[in-house]
Amino acid sequence: MPSRSERRYSTLRMTSRNLSRRPWIALAWAALTLTAAACSDGAGQDGDEPGFTNLSGATCPPDSTLTYDTFGRPFMEAYCTSCHSAHLTGAQRQGAPTDHNFDTLEACHEAGADHIDQTTAAGPDRVNDSMPPIYPAPSEAERRQLGEWLACGMP
């Protein structure tokens, strides 16, 4: 069994070794924190709404004739409300969040044009096609019309 002085020396040596590791641990922690901050989209800071960074870049032409009745409703009924309907519950929604419904123009406005754009619309900057995840899916031309309708304020 080690003597008291040997145990004390061993403890001091271990403490010195641990102290020499602390700067590396602090450096690793700082690098991890900076990496996480760099990868963050900034959502939720200072009460902001989540940021939408993958927008299609669609614009509203002055002569646009797209309205909810002529475009929005038929599009939503064809591609969205089989999951995103206030009339569906539980498994019928196929995983769609309960606060994302597209049954009415008001519901579309509540969901937000940027959210719909980021998942479904097309424009000059990009074609967003993560929705719908099942078929039938809109054509690129329909996605471009959706981008236009959204950019015009969903009339």
Give the phi and the psi of residue 36 in degrees, each rounded to 5: -65, -40
Per-residue pLDDT, 26: 46
The pTM for the full model equals: 0.67
Amino acid identity at 116 = I
- Output b/e per residue, 52-62; b: 16+ Cβ within 10 A: beebbebeeee
> Cα 79 to the chain's mean position, in Å?
20
Per-residue pLDDT, 66: 98
pLDDT in tens, the chain (155 residues): 666 555 555 544 555 555 455 554 444 444 443 333 333 333 333 333 456 678 999 999 999 999 999 999 999 999 999 999 999 999 999 999 999 999 999 999 999 999 999 999 999 999 999 999 988 999 999 999 999 999 999 99
